[in-house]
Every structure is written in structure tokens, then in C-alpha cells.
Amino acid sequence: MKQILTVLAAGLLFLPFPLVYHTGLVPVAEAPLYGWLQLLAESIFGTGSFAARLPNALTGVLTILTCFVIGKRREDERFGMWWALILAGSWLPQLLFRSDAPMLPGYYFLFLSIYLAYRVSWSTSPFRAAVFSGISLGLATLSTGPSALLIALFTGLVYWTWKRFHTGMKWLQLLTIVLAAVISSGWYYGYLMWRGTAIHIQPFPTGGVTFSTHWISFLGCFPVLAFLFTWLQTARIRSIYLAQTAENKDFVWWMWALFWTGLLIFSIMRIPLAAASLLHLPLSYLAAIQVNRILEGRLRLRRWNVAILLVMGLGTGLLLTLLPLAGIYRPAILPPCFRAGAQWHMAEAAFGIILMILTAAGTAMLARKRAQEGLLLLFAGSMILIPFAAICFAPKMQQPPQEAVAVAVKVP
């Protein structure tokens, strides 16, 4: 029943709202899965904005449901609900699910592949987990290109190194993952090579992305990023209050490996910003662990933790407040991503003011040991505020040209 309610809540969050973030990216021959999904949606609902954004909206619903189900299995039902709420209540992750970025379904499948690879060592049916891990990796490759294989490989190598060259996975199980990935995606790339099509590891244009873009983008992950910093105070503490089961601790190692590996590869290869959706899953899981410890009284926020949360929230709210004021009185200082001549209204500053009020009230409750009320105010308030702010500001942004999907997915 809780799974159904989670799907309904996520559906209401993502499906009724319009596309708010145009990336200008289109499916390419090396990563056709999103184009196929768009064509399927268009054959059912007709050509239009709803069909164009439906695959990513459904990916958002699946991601929220996956967070709840995995969290419930790793800890309990409450942990699953908090993980889903933390992801849905953070700004950049929610905005990406409202975009037309063609790699989002692929990064969902890549996360699923990493999770199932972790389950191989702990499951009572390890070969079934290995098969589904390989299939998920193959689907991720069909959506993001061969870079998905690169991220999975280096994530495994980092985890293997951190665990002192021991993963608990047998060679036959690893071979099963590889074979399943090859079978699920190799047929298509074999066809491309037979047709003489060049295959690029990173098939999407960088669009001006620099090495630091993905690092800076985490500032948009308020409020989840603020809770990630609490790991700095618990990383070296040995306490029974922070103890985890061996299985859960192993998953934490996998999530740290995926986060740092993905961040470095995205930065080095200049992969478009929409790829950050992959990093938001381990980021939100690690934050959910700390939030759960706070709620259970096993972790106490220090003053600098509350200060970081307050500064990030008030800073984001202040920028949203000043944005329409700049649009009205000083449009020349607006970032180039906004259209010249866009109509701004003073009332739009209310979004920033509301965010600052939510932040101030939430952090005040946290400081007064009213953790659950403060956290609900921060994450649930942001979850409701983000869609309406996005709808208001999105029409004022530059819209990059979009090629027709049928042309974009055509294999030469």
C-alpha cells in the first residue's frame, strides 16, 4: 500500500507540470533509448510537450519509488520515506526530472545496476541479482552511451581498492554481469559497427561544461547537501550509536565509490550537467542516513552544521528574491540564460522570501531539538515550492533549439 501511495505522490509531483528545463540535447545514435521512449510516448499521446517530457517524468516517479523500496529493505519503512522525501525536496534533482535530458533514464538504470551488483554479495539468489545488474547496465549504456560502462568499471575498481581487493563477489558472478550487459546492449552496438557508424564514449555535446561545473552545481542541491557535511564529524568516530550492520555498511561504501567516481568522470569528460542526476542518488542516500540518525537521537547537529544549512538556504532564497528585481530594474545584470525582454513581476520575489522563511523556521526547530518538525518543514516545503517556482521562471529562460526526435535517433 505504501508503494502505491509513493507512486501516486511522485506522479502528482512530476506528471501534471510542464517541461521547465530545456537542455538542447537530443538522443543520438550511440544512445538511442530515450528517443525510442519518446517515439513510443508520441505514438500513444501524440506529438507535444507532454510526450516529450513523459520519459523523464516517469523516470522521476520510478526513482522516488526505488528510493522508498531500497530504503525500506536496508533500514525500515520510515527510512525509505525520508530518502524519497530528501530527493524530491532538493532543488536540482527535482528540476532535472522536469527536463528533456536524454540520459536521465540511463543514469537511473546505472544506479540500479550498481545496487544489484552490491546485492550479489548479500542476496540468497546472487546469480539472479547478477543477471539483472548486467541487464540494467546494458540499458544504461543504450541511454547514455559507453560512458556508463566506464563509470561502472571505475566504481567497481574504487570499491575493490577500498575493500582491500576483496568484494565478496565470485568471478563467475562478475562474468554473469558482463555477459548480461553485452547481450542486452551489444546487439545494437554490433549493428552500428556493421553499418560503419563511429561510436563515441561520450556522445553528447558538452555545451560549455568545464571541469568545475559539476562541483559548483551541488550548491543547487539544497537542502540535501547541507546534511552531507555531517559526515565530516562522524567519519572517524567509533561509537555504538553510529554502528551499522555489515550489509548496510557495505552499501555505504558502494555509494561513496559511485559518488566520487561519477563526479570525477563527469568533470574530466565534460559530460553535460544533466548527468548529475546519477550523483543525486548516492548523495541523497548518504544524507538520509544522517537524517535518520538525527531523528533517532544518535547524531546531534553542531552549530556549524546548522550555520551551513542556514547560509545555503538564505543565500538561495536571497538570489531568488533578487532575480525578479534585477529583471525589472537592471536586466543587463541578469545571467545570459534568461531571455532579453522577458516579463518580470514583483510578486515573483515571493518564492525567495518563502524559501528564506522555510529555512529560518526549519533551522530554528533543529536548533531547539525539534528535529522531525524542522526536517519536514525544510524538505516537504521545498518539494511543494520547487514546481511552482520552476513554472514561473522557466518561460523566461533561453530555449535552445530542439531537433526532431525522429531525426535524432536515426541510425546512419
Which of 268, 299, 330 is where one domain is finished? Answer: 299
Q: How far apart are CA 317 and CA 188, in angstroms?
A: 47
Which of 282, 299, 316 is where one domain is finished? Answer: 299
Q: How far apart are CA 169 and CA 126, in angstroms?
A: 9
The answer to whether residue 407 sits within a structural domain is no
Question: Do 308 and 383 belong to one domain?
Answer: yes
Question: Do 220 and 335 belong to one domain?
Answer: no
Question: Do 245 and 103 belong to one domain?
Answer: yes
Which of 299, 318, 336 is where one domain is finished? Answer: 299
Distance of CA 392 to the CA centre of its chain: 22
The answer to whether residue 340 sits within a structural domain is yes
- Predicted confidence (pLDDT) per residue in 167-205, tens digit: 778 889 999 999 999 999 888 888 888 887 767 666 665
Cis peptide before 223 (omega within 30 of 0): yes
The answer to whether residue 410 sits within a structural domain is no
Question: Do 165 and 252 belong to one domain?
Answer: yes
- Predicted confidence (pLDDT) per residue in 241-272, tens digit: 566 788 888 999 999 999 999 999 888 888 88
Written in H, E and C, the secondary structure of the chain is CHHHHHHHHHHHHHCCCCCCECCCCCCECCECHHHHHHHHHHHHHCCCHHHHHHHHHHHHHHHHHHHHHHHHHHCCHHHHHHHHHHHHCCHHHHHHCCECCCCHHHHHHHHHHHHHHHHHCCCCCHHHHHHHHHHHHHHHHHHHCCHHHHHHHHHHHHHHHHCCCCCCCCHHHHHHHHHHHHHHHHHHHHHHHHCCCCCCCCCCCCCCCCCCHHHHHHHHCCCHHHHHCCHHHHCCCCCHHHCCCHHHHHHHHHHHHHHHHHHHHHHHHCCCHHHHHHHHHHHHHHHHHHHHHHHCCCCCCCHHHHHHHHHHHHHHHHHHHHHHHHHHHCHHHCCCCECCCCCCCHHHHHHHHHHHHHHHHHHHHHHCCCHHHHHHHHHHHHHHHHHHHHHHHHHHECCCCCCCHHHHCCCC
Cell 544522517 appears where? 290
The residues, any chain, with a CB within 8 Å of residue 351's CB and separated by 6 or more, are: 320, 321, 385, 388, 389, 392
Question: Do 205 and 75 belong to one domain?
Answer: yes
The separation between the first and the last C-alpha atoms of the chain, rounded to the nearest angstrom, is 47
Please give the residue range of the domain that contains residue 354.
301-398
The predicted model scores a pTM of: 0.89
The answer to whether residue 292 sits within a structural domain is yes
Structural domains of the chain, count: 2
Other CB atoms within 10 Å distance of the CB of residue 77: 12
Question: Do 133 and 206 belong to one domain?
Answer: yes
Question: Do 33 and 141 belong to one domain?
Answer: yes
Q: Are 384 and 170 spatial neighbours (Cβ–Cβ below 8 Å)? A: no
The residues, any chain, with a CB within 8 Å of residue 287's CB and separated by 6 or more, are: 86, 224, 225, 227, 228
The answer to whether residue 406 sits within a structural domain is no
Question: Do 256 and 309 belong to one domain?
Answer: no
Distances 373 to 183, 262, 309 between C-alpha atoms, Å:
49, 33, 15
Cell of 379: 524538505
The answer to whether residue 306 sits within a structural domain is yes
- Predicted confidence (pLDDT) per residue in 343-365, tens digit: 888 988 999 999 999 999 999 99
pLDDT by 10s per residue, the chain, length 412: 566 556 556 555 666 555 566 666 777 777 888 888 888 888 888 877 777 788 888 898 899 999 999 999 888 889 999 999 999 888 888 888 888 788 889 999 999 999 999 999 888 899 999 999 999 999 999 998 888 899 999 999 999 998 877 777 888 999 999 999 999 988 888 888 888 776 766 666 565 577 777 788 777 788 888 888 888 777 666 666 566 788 888 999 999 999 999 999 888 888 887 788 888 999 999 999 999 989 988 888 888 888 999 999 999 999 999 988 888 888 888 777 677 777 888 988 999 999 999 999 999 998 888 889 999 999 988 888 888 888 888 777 765 544 433 334 444 4
Question: Do 215 and 289 belong to one domain?
Answer: yes
The residues, any chain, with a CB within 8 Å of residue 343's CB and separated by 6 or more, are: 396
Question: Do 307 and 159 belong to one domain?
Answer: no
Question: Do 76 and 190 belong to one domain?
Answer: yes
The answer to whether residue 215 sits within a structural domain is yes
The answer to whether residue 403 sits within a structural domain is no
Instruction: For helices 371-393 and 277-295, give the axis angle rounded to 10 degrees.
Output: 150
Question: Do 44 and 98 belong to one domain?
Answer: yes
